[in-house]
C-alpha cells in the first residue's frame, strides 16, 4: 500500500500532481485555485520552498498581499540568496505602499542577480 500523508489518503505522488496543476492554474490566471491545491501540498510538506514560492506568487496574483508577504518572507528565511523572492517581496511591499522596504528588496534582488528587470526596479541611480 502506498505511503499516505495524514488522514487525507494523499500520496507524495498526488502532491507532485497538485503542485504541477497549481502551476498550470496560476499560468491560466486562476490564482485562487492554485492556492487551494497548494494548501494541501504545504500542509503535508511545510519545508517545500518551491511550493511556498508558488503559493506566494498565487497570493500576489490574487491581490492577497499579506499572505503573499508572509510566504515570500518564509522563502527568504530559507533561501536568503533567492533573487526572485526578494524581487517579488519588493513588488508586494510596493503594492502596499511600503516604498522603503520595497527599495531594500529591489536592491537586494539586483545585487544577487543583474537581471535587467531587477536593476531597473532597484533604481541605483537615485540616492539611497
Q: What DSSP element (H or E) covers 105?
A: helix 99-112
* pLDDT of 101 strictly over 50: yes
Which triple of cell numbers denotes residue 25?
492554474
- The pLDDT score that the predictor gives to residue 8 is 54
b/e burial code for range 56-84 (CB count within 10 A of at least 16 → b): bbbbbbbebbebbbbbbebbbeeeeebbb
Phi and psi dihedrals of 3, rounded to 5? -70, 135
pLDDT digits (tens, 9 = 90+) for 14-25: 999 999 999 999
Note the Cα 69 to chain centre separation in Å: 8
- pTM of the predicted model as reported, rounded to 2 decimal places: 0.87
Amino acid at each position: 500500500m502506498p505511503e499516505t500523508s495524514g488522514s487525507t489518503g494523499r500520496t507524495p505522488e498526488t502532491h507532485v500532481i497538485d503542485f504541477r496543476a497549481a502551476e498550470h492554474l496560476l499560468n491560466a490566471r486562476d490564482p485562487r485555485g492554485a492556492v487551494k491545491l497548494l494548501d494541501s501540498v504545504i500542509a503535508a510538506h511545510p519545508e517545500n520552498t518551491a511550493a511556498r514560492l508558488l503559493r506566494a506568487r498565487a497570493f500576489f496574483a490574487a491581490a492577497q498581499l499579506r499572505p503573499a508577504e508572509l510566504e515570500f518572507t518564509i522563502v527568504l528565511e530559507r533561501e536568503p540568496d533567492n533573487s526572485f523572492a526578494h524581487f517579488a517581496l519588493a513588488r508586494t511591499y510596493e503594492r502596499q505602499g511600503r516604498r522603503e522596504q520595497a527599495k531594500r528588496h529591489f536592491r537586494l534582488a539586483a545585487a544577487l542577480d543583474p537581471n535587467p528587470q531587477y536593476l531597473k526596479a532597484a533604481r541605483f541611480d537615485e540616492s539611497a
